[in-house]
Structure 1
Amino acid sequence: MKKLITAFATVGALCGALPFSVSAADDARTHIQSIKPADFPSDPIEVNVVYPAGGGMDINARLAAKYFEKWTGAQAIVNNRTGGAGLVGHTYLANQASNDGYTVAVIANLIFADSMLRAKGRWDYNKLEPIAFLNYEGINLVVSADGPYRDKSLKELVQLAKDKPGTVRISMLPGTMFEYMVEQIEQVSGAKFLKVPFQGGAPSITAALGGNVDIALGFYGEIRSFLAADKLKPVGVSSAERSPFLKDTPTVNESLGRKDIVWGATRWVAVPTGVAPERKAYLAAGFSAAAQDPELQEEFRKLGTIVDLSLDSPEKIKTHLDELATMEREFYKKTGRLEQ
């Protein structure tokens, strides 16, 4: 997870200087129009997200689509292809989606688990080509501010799950980093949670508010309004460093005396393999300009995400994703999910 640690530790540097002056913005817009294919797009671009509406991935997808429209003048429509905690949508995008350029996806490294473990060799994440990088963030652990554990720290909750196995209910998305983080916490602490499955972060947050789980896992965009309304209390974050948006909340590693529990979502825009080069170049230019827009960067910061301006080309993004995928693959081998 070295790359993730570096990314989070350098949040100040990465979120500092904005890349667009007025003249540079004009140049970018001119470039986008100059490479626009004559016959494309004549219909709306479908921006796919494989998790439910209202969740962190959905929020990011809708922002990316909005600013793509701003920079290109083309229409973009978000489509939620849900099911199987992401597997249904990922499988569609990798194996069935048209490569005519009208189908793009806002996806995260959650696809690695589907690709390596659940696809059973039918496809891998390389079936979707990255064209623009969006952001990164850790997973937040929260409890109800009105619930029985509102005064407990994460360390105390883990100890309770160790002393009374199966009594502390925690949300998770099966076959994703959410599940693996909980598993790693159990492995290093001896705790045993009652794991309650959900298809996305937003439903699990709702469950915590309703007292149906004790600890919910979600991204900052999914919990921000509930934190502001004092409905939820953060108890931990799975990043290498404390979140700049939750400075008083310890990391999971701090709470448990570890250094190796680092999980988070890296989000990017991708297209199915085989899209015509001129269409892919146009889409990449449009979404890249959107991702580097100062207004969108500010939107991302409000969501609690980290913007990495160094990942400014499909080639750099691909290299970065391959590094993340390699580290995740090693975790699966170490835990017996994949053969050595």
Structure 2
Amino acid sequence: MTRFATLTRSLIAATALMAPLALPASADTFPERDVTIVLPFPPGGGTDQVMRVIAAEASQQMGHQLIVENRPGAGGSIAAMYVKNAEADGYTLFFGNASTHAINPYLMNITYDPVADFAPVTEIMLFPHVLVVPGDSEIQTLDDLLAAAAGRPGGLSFATQGLGSGGQLLGEQLRLATGANMVAVPFQGGGPALLETSTGRVDFMFSGYGPTRSFVNDGTLRVIAVTGSERLPFLPDVPSLGELGYPQVNKEFWFAVFAPAGTPEDVVTTLSGIFAQAVATPAVQEVLDANAATARVGDPAALADLVARDLAEMEVLTREAGIAAN
């Protein structure tokens, strides 16, 4: 046997041994090692707390760790780009949200495509928003608020937590839906916006319920409506904007899991099932309740539809409300 023939046979044998390592991940064996989920937020917040409990439950199911990695900054773009550029094998995931996948594309100069660069896995949760007024305000209902907007020469002011925030988008949806005389007052974050509303220097605002809870409990803020079509289980006496005749005031702030585009479909399906089972556990339900969040899981197709629908709605809202990047 010539030296060349011997070398050729050795290379063929080596390639055959290495071939299984080059195959994409398969749902039959996935996962074979730890999985990392990247969050676009710093540690310690409510979203981080929820995902860490989900990760603990998912790790038990997988037999491998689901590692939570925080990469905050640039409105979520740092984390999104990191996952976009990761191997499409299911081992690096992104905990995206309505901002990273539907709002920021219209308000920021992002360098990723929320549709083309990611494979939807499953929605996880959403944070219902509430419409609050100062605790000593004469406004008791949505009708009162609209009457006040019509009756005061300057109309009403509503606080926002900044560009692209729930306070801004829902406030503009309400203004457009009702035609009421309302003007946005932007603040640098939710804390200052809530404080100024609670003292009466601003007339009302929309906020996630979690941050308002202490103000509501001490009587400095009052909830007069909740977003969506149904009442919230922890606020059963507060009407929804849907039942009050304004179903279009419904911008949702959801959180969901995404993989890099090109991740094998069977791996995505496996991941979707793992997260669904984890979210259904009592431990996760407890931390969701503590953070005033609502569980909502679904298959990858449902999440893809959600992203597409939100992008279309944001295109209309930003145009009609005149919302643009600073």
TM-score, with length taken from structure 2: 0.69
Contact 1:54–1:222 under 8 Å retained in 2 = no
Q: CA deviation at 1:170?
A: 1.6
Please state if 1:36 is matched with 2:23: no
* Number of equivalent positions: 292
Runs of 4+ with deviation above 6 angstroms: 276-279
Counterpart selection for 1:90 from 68, 73, 76: 76
Q: 1:61-89: CA deviations, max 9, x gaps?
A: 3443343344345153352614xxxxx14
Q: Structure 2: which 5+ runs fail to align?
A: 1-25
Matched ranges for 1:165-184 at <5 A: 165=154, 168-184=157-173
> For residues 76 and 52 of structure 1, do their structure 2 counterparts lie closer, same or farther at Cα, with a shift above 3 Å needed?
closer
Match of 1:61 in 2: 51
Q: CA deviation at 1:48?
A: 0.6
Matched ranges for 1:277-316 at <5 A: 283-301=271-289, 303-308=291-296, 311=298, 313-316=299-302
Paired letter, 2:122: A
Match of 2:13 in 1: none
Match of 2:206 in 1: 217
> For residues 211 and 46 of structure 1, do their structure 2 counterparts lie closer, same or farther at Cα, with a shift above 3 Å needed?
farther
Counterpart selection for 1:48 from 30, 33, 39: 39
Find the aligned partners of 1:235 and 1:246 in 2 and give their Cα distance: 10
- Percent of counterpart pairs with the same letter? 20
Find the aligned partners of 1:142 and 1:184 in 2 and give their Cα distance: 15
Partner secondary structure for residue 172 of structure 2:
helix
Match of 1:128 in 2: 118
Paired letter, 1:264: E
Find the aligned partners of 2:239 and 2:272 in 1 and give their Cα distance: 37
Contact 1:90–1:114 under 8 Å retained in 2 = no
Match of 1:20 in 2: none
Paired letter, 2:30: I
Paired letter, 1:323: R
Contact 1:143–1:235 under 8 Å retained in 2 = yes
Contact 1:99–1:275 under 8 Å retained in 2 = no
Paired letter, 1:90: G
Find the aligned partners of 1:59 and 1:202 in 2 and give their Cα distance: 19
Partner secondary structure for residue 163 of structure 2:
coil
Which structure has the greater CA radius of gyration? Answer: 2
Match of 1:99 in 2: 86
Find the aligned partners of 1:102 and 1:213 in 2 and give their Cα distance: 46
Paired letter, 2:99: L
Match of 2:141 in 1: 153
Match of 1:3 in 2: none
Find the aligned partners of 1:248 and 1:36 in 2 and give their Cα distance: 45
> For residues 286 and 116 of structure 1, do their structure 2 counterparts lie closer, same or farther at Cα, with a shift above 3 Å needed?
same
Match of 1:13 in 2: none
Find the aligned partners of 1:296 and 1:111 in 2 and give their Cα distance: 23
Contact 2:42–2:71 under 8 Å retained in 1 = yes
Contact 2:75–2:104 under 8 Å retained in 1 = no
Counterpart selection for 1:271 from 247, 256, 259: 259
Paired letter, 2:86: N
> For residues 293 and 150 of structure 1, do their structure 2 counterparts lie closer, same or farther at Cα, with a shift above 3 Å needed?
farther
Paired letter, 1:81: P
Match of 1:190 in 2: 180
Q: Structure 1: which 5+ runs fail to align?
A: 1-30, 83-87
Paired letter, 1:142: V
Match of 2:16 in 1: none
Find the aligned partners of 1:241 and 1:324 in 2 and give their Cα distance: 20
Contact 2:40–2:79 under 8 Å retained in 1 = no
Please state if 1:239 is matched with 2:228: yes
> For residues 196 and 157 of structure 1, do their structure 2 counterparts lie closer, same or farther at Cα, with a shift above 3 Å needed?
farther
Contact 1:36–1:282 under 8 Å retained in 2 = no
Counterpart selection for 2:70 from 56, 79, 88: 79
